[in-house]
Structures are given as structure tokens and as C-alpha cells.
Amino acid sequence: MIPVRPRRVAAIVLRYAYLLRGSVARVVPLFAWVAIDVVLWGFLTRYLDAVSRSGIDFVTVLLGAVLLWDFFARSMQGVTMTFLEDVWTRSLLNVFATPITLAEYVTGLVLCSVGTSAIGLAVMVALATAAFGLSVAAHVGLAAAALGVLFLFGIAVGVVGCAIVLRLGPAAEWFIWPIPAVLSPFAAVFYPVSILPGWMRAISWALPPAHVFETARAVLAGGRPDWARIGLAAALSLGYLVLAGLVFAGVHRHAVRSGLLARYSAESVT
């Protein structure tokens, strides 16, 4: 087994940090879009609280769901954006021409995602708390577990997204951006899985986020945390993460052996 050398991983992280430091256009998206989501959904939930007599705390239920789902999206995009920076600058071949291993490169992508996701989460929580009174103090343990599951699943989806771009070419990035929107109906972010048709429910239960949001809604309705379900979601996320790593390794191996990596350019879409 080839060891992962921390200095090489740190080099990937440091390179991305220099890119962020040198470009406002790269820094602003880290918090701008999440801030817009929080403001939009915050006022919507405040309006629903004002006109509804259901007794549901929409700020906690809906705005909390938005924060969790945005965190998943940021985790995924933290991996894909770092990878795409190498694609856009035509430096992907240069990276793999160095002694860095595939495991070290992917680990660097994951650590970059940790940093960008943490920034987005901090902005979301601070804004939601200050502007709309969202509080998770009573459910810190569940929130931490939910974030952990969503982060692992986001990394897995991000690694698969990188594999798609590596196999199909730079233009395939347009397959990556809609992934959170495509998954959200099955993840049951804002509604219970029970209202979905049978074929969608089967897919939902195979996705870790569905278990996370079902558990969160049950707790907010007065129930107790179903830690067995959270454990199942964590196991699914880890399984998908391993599978994503195997997919990326297989695609990388094909790209190297077929010469696709050497021919990598903006025109290589097939």
C-alpha cells in the first residue's frame, strides 16, 4: 500500500489557497450564494410562521433543512471546484506528471472541501441565527451527526463528478452542477419520504440524506433521535465514498492507459 505523504497533500491545499487569495471572484461564491439562500428562505419561513396556525416552527424545520442541504452541496462542490481549477488552467496533466499519487491528490481535494464547506456553514449559521433566530442548541449532537453524514455523501458525489469530467472532458462539467437539484426530490429535504411514489421511495431509502432529514423531522416533531437510522446513513455514505474512490481510480487508470489524459483539452467531450 502506497503511503499518503502529508506534504504532497498540503501542496494541493496550498495551491488552492493561493488561488483563493489571489482572486476575489473565487472567494465571494464561498459565502454569497449560501447567504442569498438563507435570506430568501428565512423571510419565507418567517412569513409562513406569521400566517400559519399549524403550530409548526417553519424557521427551524424549513430553514434548518436548507442549511443542511446547502452544506451537502458545498461539500460536493468543494471537491469538484478544486478539480475543475486544474481542468480550466490545463494543468491536470502537469499535476499527474509529478510524483503525487492519486490518493494524495484526492485527499487534497477533500481537505479543500473541508475548508470551503466550513466557511459556507459558518456564514449560514451566523446569518440564520442573527437574522432569523434559528437555534440548534437543543439538538447539537444530532446536527453534528447529520452534518457528518452529509459531508461524507457530498464528498462521494463530488469524487464521482470529478470522474465524469475526467472521462468525458471539460465540457462535461455541465453534468455536475445540477446534481444537488436532481438528488433533492429523492432526498426528501422538505417533505417526508412517505408522500413519494413507490419507485421514488426505493431510491430515497438508498440515499443517506433521506434518512438524515426523516430523523430530523421526527425529532423536531417531538420524537427521539433514531440513532440506528443515522448509523445506517453513515454506513451508506462510507460505502458510497469507497465506491466513488474506486470509480475515480478506474477512470484515471483508463485515462492514463488510453492516452486520454495526455490529450485532455476543452474540445475532448467524448
> What is the C-alpha radius of gyration for the chain, rounded to an integer number of angstroms?
20
pLDDT at 74 over 80: yes
- Using an 8 Å Cβ cutoff, are 210 and 204 in contact? yes
- Using an 8 Å Cβ cutoff, are 132 and 205 in contact? no
pLDDT at 266 over 60: no
CA distance 201 to 171: 32
Q: What is the model's pTM?
A: 0.91
Give 270's pLDDT tier (boundaries 50, 70, 90): very low
Q: Where are the domains of the chain?
A: 6-258
Averaged pLDDT for residues 22-41? 85
Averaged pLDDT for residues 244-255? 94
Give the lowest-confidence range in 139-143, 152-156, 168-172, 181-185: 168-172
Averaged pLDDT for residues 36-49? 90
- In the chain, DSSP finds a helix count (H) and a strand count (E) of 12, 0
CB burial readout 230-266, b (16+ within 10 A) else e: beebbebbeebbeebbebbeebbeebeeeebbeebee
CA distance 140 to 159: 28
CA distance 123 to 114: 14
pLDDT at 53 over 50: yes
Averaged pLDDT for residues 133-150? 88
pLDDT at position 145 is: 95
Give 264's pLDDT tier (boundaries 50, 70, 90): low
pLDDT at position 269 is: 44
pLDDT at position 94 is: 83
Percent of the chain predicted with pLDDT > 70: 96
pLDDT at position 268 is: 45
pLDDT at 152 over 90: yes
CA distance 138 to 64: 13
Residues in CB range of 263: below 8 A, 6 or more apart:
none
Sign of the dihedral defined by the CA atoms of residues 218, 200, 208, 120, in that order: negative
Q: How many Cβ atoms sit within 10 Å of the Cβ of residue 223?
A: 10
Percent of the chain predicted with pLDDT > 90: 58
Give 195's pLDDT tier (boundaries 50, 70, 90): very high
C-alpha to C-alpha distances, 94 to 11, 85, 97, nearest whole angstrom? 14, 13, 5
C-alpha to C-alpha distances, 201 to 160, 205, 248, nearest whole angstrom? 23, 6, 28
pLDDT at 184 over 70: yes
- Using an 8 Å Cβ cutoff, are 76 and 118 in contact? no
pLDDT at position 267 is: 47
Q: Where are the alpha helices (DSSP H) in 92-221?
A: 92-97, 102-132, 140-168, 179-187, 198-204, 208-220
Residue listed under C-alpha cell 465540457 = 171
- Using an 8 Å Cβ cutoff, are 167 and 254 in contact? yes
